[in-house]
Amino acid sequence: MIPTPEKRIAEFERKGFGMFIHYGLYSQMGKGEWIMCNGRIPDEKYRGLFDTFTAKDFDARAIARLAKKSGMNYITLTTRHHEGFSLYDTKGLSDYDAPHAPGCRRDLIREFVDACNDEGIMPMFYHTTLDWHVKSFNDDFPAYLKYLRDSVEVLCTEYGKIGGLWFDGNWSKPEVDWEEDALYATIRRHQPDALIINNTGLGAQGKLGNPEIDSVTFEQARPQPMNREGMEKYVAAEMCCTMNDHWGVGDNDYNYKSLPELIETLCACRRIGANFLLNVGPTGDGAILPMQKCLIEGIGSWISACGGSIYDSKPTAIEGDGKNFAIADENRTYFFIHDLGIFGQAHVTVAGNGEGIKHFRNVKGRVKSIKYVDNGEELTFIQKWDDLFIYAPACPYGSNYVVRVAEAEIEAE
């Protein structure tokens, strides 16, 4: 038996698409978020970035509006990354935070939460559990864990209702007791409806952890279907990935994923009911790079044209050939058809098109009608028992949806 998801988890699954933001002192160097470790920069030297941090172009309102415009329903922002610098007022726990940075003097998390709330976006807090700055992490681990809990308590009590906490770093010390029960109890005490996520890292995709965890993670890898049969608690799934090869901005990282790849990845996540958390790495001053902004807006344009079903629809038992699949809400079933290409003369179309009959199996009930979501074109189909054959025309010249979606009305058996 599959357990019924708790309200916060069911609502999280319907969010579908979110923005990840990695921003910190490291952003000023433009060499990724791990530069302190990978560059073997001593803490004393690295702290010089604290003195030059301004965040003058960090515009939380513009970021929240970009997310909303592009079909993203939540944003997960690094309140503190492994470097140990916080974007929030730590209330005396440390002076190594944005409000104390001489060139900033702002609580960026306050600005972030206010902007998200105003734009109808759910604010999520990334918080590291690994810390390269605080000496107790290596010298007095129990004291460090108290510092971590106290830091999280600040986030849970100073910013109103939050969407959840997204932790990262337990994989750095797999042999120790991280006292997760105490950490999560702190969250439940102050934010009972907040999601709790703890990233299991590249080496443990989709691994289940503490019973309080609300979602497993798939870092940089498309999620696999979850078998929730017999689970004590329904747990969601989320894939997080970068646009290129770095989470924090890499000034010389040009290895961007293409817009078609990102659209297909979003679809692959929603195929199994997982959320897609797509990362941006702002510049040292806090601005979103034009390339990253354009890619996000491109995904949003695709969602507006034919991907609106990704939020409320759930996985089905319907099987398609290759990458094709179907999801369904209470009223409609949506068939996601890949690689159709465009229709036109051979002189102007690249590599022809993939239009033709698309076969879907395990289609229960009588199919009454099928039409493309993008233009309402009625499609020809033949149903034989549970097999459905749809004739899927290519995209009209002047468009290429990468993944074209057909909406079907099916009468239940």
Same domain, 388 and 344: yes
Residues 148, 86 within the same domain = yes
pLDDT at 40: 97
Residues 395 and 293 grouped into a single domain:
no
| 95 and 199, same domain (yes or no) | yes
Which of helix, strand or coil describes residue 316?
strand
* Continuous segment of H or E residues that includes residue 389: strand 387-392
- The CATH number linked to 340 is 2.60.40.1180
Residues 261 and 380 in one domain: no
Structure tokens at 121: 């976006």
**Does residue 105 sit in the same domain as residue 169?**
yes
CB 218 within 8 A of CB 206: yes
- Do 391 and 251 share a structural domain? no
Pair 334, 261 in one domain: no
Q: Is 301 helix (H, G, I), strand (E, B) or coil?
A: helix
In a domain, 127, yes or no: yes
Residue 344 pLDDT: 62
* End residue of a domain, out of 261, 277, 310: 310
pTM of the model: 0.96
Do 87 and 200 lie in one domain? The reply is yes
Note down pLDDT in tens along the chain; length 413 residues.
899 999 999 999 999 999 999 999 999 999 999 999 999 999 999 999 999 999 999 999 999 999 999 999 999 999 999 999 999 999 999 999 999 999 999 999 999 999 999 999 999 999 999 999 999 999 999 999 999 999 999 999 999 999 999 999 999 999 999 999 999 999 999 999 999 999 987 777 888 889 999 999 999 999 999 889 889 999 999 999 999 999 999 999 999 999 999 999 999 999 999 999 999 999 999 999 999 999 999 999 999 999 999 999 999 999 999 999 999 999 999 999 999 988 766 655 555 578 999 999 999 999 999 999 999 999 999 999 999 999 999 999 889 999 999 999 999 87
Identify whether 107 is part of a domain.
Answer: yes
- Are 352 and 346 in contact by the 8 Å Cβ rule? The answer is yes
Q: Does some domain include residue 2?
A: no
Same domain, 104 and 253: yes
Query: Is 1 a member of any domain?
Result: no
| CA–CA separation, 388 and 368 (whole Å) | 12
Which structural domain, as residue segments, surrounds residue 36?
A: 7-310
Q: In the prediction, which pLDDT does 347 show?
A: 59
If asked whether residues 217 and 186 sit together in one domain, one would say yes
Same domain, residue pair 287 and 224: yes
- Judge whether 322 lies within some domain: yes
Q: What is the 3-state secondary structure (H, E, C) of 255-292?
A: CCCCHHHHHHHHHHHHHCCCEEEEEECCCCCCCCCHHH
Residue 214 lies in a domain: yes
Domains in the chain: how many in total?
Answer: 2
Measure the CA–CA gap between 94 and 96, rounded to whole angstroms. Answer: 5
**Rounded-to-integer distance, Cα 126 and Cα 166, Å:** 4
406: in domain: yes
Domain final position from 246, 275, 310: 310
Buried b (16+ CB within 10 A) or exposed e, 275-295: bbbbbbbbbbebbbbeebbeb
| CATH code for the domain of 196 | 3.20.20.80
Strands laid side by side in the 356-361 sheet:
366-372, 403-411, 333-338, 325-328, 314-320, 356-361, 387-392, 381-384
3-state class (DSSP) for residue 76: strand
- Answer with the one of 279, 310, 341 that is the final residue of a domain: 310
For residue 353, the model assigns a pLDDT of 74
Predicted local confidence at residue 200, as pLDDT: 87
